[in-house]
Amino acid sequence: MGKYEEMFDYVKEILSEYDLHGGAAKHKIDYSRFDHIKRVYRWMLELYEALEDKQEIDIDALRIATIFHDCGYGNIEEEPHAQTGARICREYLEEQGYEQKRIEFICNLVAQHSDKKLLQTDIPMELVLLMEADLLDDTGAQGVVMDVWMEAKEENATLDSIRDHIKRYSVCLAEKNPMRTKKGKEIWTEKRRIVTEFFEAYCHDLEAEA
């Protein structure tokens, strides 16, 4: 087994209890935090592949930080998940004999990943890619499905309340473009087009004669 597969397995085990209860942070829907990590990892690779100056990226550090970025969710009652995640990551890397300087760099990526307002500031490109990849999950077509799923779990949900939920979350979120890399911006623009088109079509479907 490769080292990244081992890390994925380690994180899966850490999150197993949390995911068993449907990922408490996402409330009523059955949301696997581990599956989110795998999707973010895939987005991260897509963003990385599209970079022109990818030789400047420490892809090993970025892979590790992405795998560990949300592993701290099991402890959110106690402290922010990014802090717990950084601690778990540090223990793991120390155990594996990584040098301190490297551990520091990787764990800083994990610790800072939630603070998305840093995205437009002077931060390492590895952190830019991790944040962008994280933002690309649960948005666009998938975001709309999650809106429908969450709203449908509410008591007295109707077709109209589902429309309003989509408007409040996916439509509103798609309006801004928080991405920084060229590829990230392109993907976001496409997600926005899909969300807007779907929303407008759905609104039209729900129109009724008074």
Identify whether the C-beta of residue 191 lies closer than 8 Å to the C-beta of residue 139: yes
CA distance 176 to 184: 13
Q: Which stretch binds Fe ion (CB under 5 A): 56-64, 118-126, 134-142, 151-159?
A: 134-142
Shortest spacing between CB 92 and Fe ion, in angstroms: 17
- Would you report the helix, strand and coil content of the chain in percent, each value rounded to 5? 75, 0, 25
Q: CA of 21: how far to CAs of 27, 31, 83, 155, in Å? A: 10, 9, 22, 20
132 binds Fe ion (CB under 5 A): no
Shortest spacing between CB 23 and Fe ion, in angstroms: 11
Q: Label residue 128 left, alpha or beta by phi (over 0 means left) and psi (-120 to 50 means alpha).
A: alpha
Among 19, 126, 132, 134, binds Fe ion (CB under 5 A): 134
DSSP state of 171: I
Site map 27..66 versus Fe ion, x via CB under 5 A:
----------------------------------------
70 binds Fe ion (CB under 5 A): yes
Nearer to Fe ion by Cβ, of 162 and 179: the residue is: 179
Nearer to Fe ion by Cβ, of 65 and 162: the residue is: 65
